[in-house]
Amino acid sequence: MSAITSLPPCSFSSKTVRVTVTNSSSGAGPAQPNFIMPICRFKRGLVSLESNNDGAVQTVNVGYRVTGLNPGTNYNVTYHIENKKSYPLSITTTSPMNYQNIDVGFVGRSGAMIVITVLLVIAMVLLIILFIVSLLMGNK
């Protein structure tokens, strides 16, 4: 299990950041690798989402991904940069749910959507026929 946290301020760009994760109940959390704080341009982060529109790649940086977390646990994440320490960021992980228990919610609605679509098509056909009749009657 993992979580994404915000990054330290831009004033720490290009510096090595050590990440410490502590479990609120038993002490030390999972070890995290050090990283170099990226240069801030727009939104900053280490998790990048890329989308390709018309050949142009747009990258949006989201944050730092903390990995190795256990479900249903409270964690505190702290950044250490040189001799400075950030305030702890609190993370609470949720317990995963069995995907087979997820309610899709479309079973009862799909029949109604078909009925509405059929009624709209019939109404549109009637409107087109009435429009043609009104054009023919208007010419006389």
For 58-109, write each residue's pLDDT tens digit: 656 567 888 888 888 888 888 899 888 888 888 888 888 888 887 766 666 6
Alpha helices by DSSP H, listed for the chain, are 109-138
Write down the domain spans for the chain.
Answer: 3-99, 103-138
Give SS3 for 94. coil
Question: 127, exposed or middle or buried, with CB in 10 Å at 0-12, 13-18, 19+?
Answer: exposed
46: DSSP letter:
S
Across the chain, mean pLDDT equals 80
Taking Cα atoms as reference points, which of 73, 70, 79, 75 lies closest to residue 91? 75
Question: Residue 1 is encoded by which pair of tokens?
Answer: 């299990």
